[in-house]
């Protein structure tokens, strides 16, 4: 009888430890968007705004279909917040759980293995960033951008600055133009 009780208790401990381990190591997937999703931050830049602000000279430097105008701060929104549905995403994730060595659920720091770094290195270089949606345990938790560090200072929302080569394995999640550290608990993402 004592053996039976011991086996039952031992099984319960294994099940509870297994449950704790799953919570500490969430399933992470990162999907790219099929095409650029317009940001809802700021106002669209129309021909009349371009003319009134004398922005015609900048027309060849910037895609005014992507950039929006922050009239409150008299600034541009280069890579602003966006909303994505599952239908807006590519069918397969660019980064899946097998490409990740570790993921910090407090600040979003991502450590990729060599296969994950190779996948990231194949992203087309885009000055306005590549939009992604981060899934944790099958739920969308964060919309953001993959950016080259040269351009990431323009980003108005969440972003992973990365150098587009196979050596980029550690990605630090940042927010906004000031590279603010992210705290998932404060942003209700955890």
Q: Do the Cβ atoms of 158 and 168 come closer than 8 Å?
A: no
Residue 128: predicted pLDDT: 75
Residue 189 lies in a domain: no
| 175 and 127 fall within a common domain | yes
Burial bucket for residue 115 (CB in 10 Å: 0-12, 13-18, 19+): middle
The confidence score (pLDDT) of residue 18 equals 39
Where residue 188 falls (left for φ over 0; alpha for ψ -120 to 50; beta otherwise) is left
Q: How confident is the model at residue 19 (pLDDT cuts 50, 70, 90)?
A: very low
Over residues 40-95, the pLDDT tens digits come to: 988 877 665 666 666 666 665 666 667 787 878 777 787 889 999 999 999 999 99
Q: Do 35 and 90 share a structural domain?
A: yes
73 and 154 assigned to the same domain: no
Is 111 in the same domain as 67? no
Structural domain total, the chain: 2
Average pLDDT estimate for 157-171: 82
Question: Which pTM does this prediction carry?
Answer: 0.77
Regarding whether 68 and 95 lie in a shared domain, the answer is no
Domain that holds residue 21: 2-39+79-181
Show the beta-strand stretches assigned E in the chain: 28-32, 43-44, 68-70, 75-77, 100-103, 110-112, 130-136, 139-147, 158-161, 170-171, 174-175, 180-181
Mean pLDDT of the chain: 78
The reported pLDDT for the residue numbered 94 is 95
69 and 97 assigned to the same domain: no
Domain co-membership, 116 together with 26: yes
């Amino acid at each position: 009888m004592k053996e039976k009780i011991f086996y039952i208790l031992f099984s319960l401990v294994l099940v509870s430890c297994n449950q704790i381990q799953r919570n500490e190591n969430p399933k992470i997937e990162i999907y790219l968007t099929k095409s650029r999703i317009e940001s809802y931050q700021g106002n669209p830049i129309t021909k009349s705004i371009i003319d009134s602000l004398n922005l015609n000279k900048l027309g060849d430097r910037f895609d005014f279909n992507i950039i929006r105008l922050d009239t409150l701060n008299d600034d541009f929104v280069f890579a602003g917040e966006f909303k994505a549905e599952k239908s807006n995403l590519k069918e397969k994730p660019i980064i899946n759980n097998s490409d990740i060595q570790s993921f910090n659920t407090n600040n979003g720091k991502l450590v990729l293995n060599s296969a994950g770094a190779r996948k990231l290195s194949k992203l087309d270089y885009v000055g306005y960033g590549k939009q992604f949606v981060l899934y944790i345990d099958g739920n969308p938790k964060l919309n953001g951008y993959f950016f080259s560090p040269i351009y990431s200072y323009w980003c108005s929302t969440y972003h992973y600055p990365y150098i587009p080569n196979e050596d980029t394995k550690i990605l630090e999640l940042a927010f906004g133009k000031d590279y603010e550290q992210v705290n998932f608990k404060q942003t209700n993402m955890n």
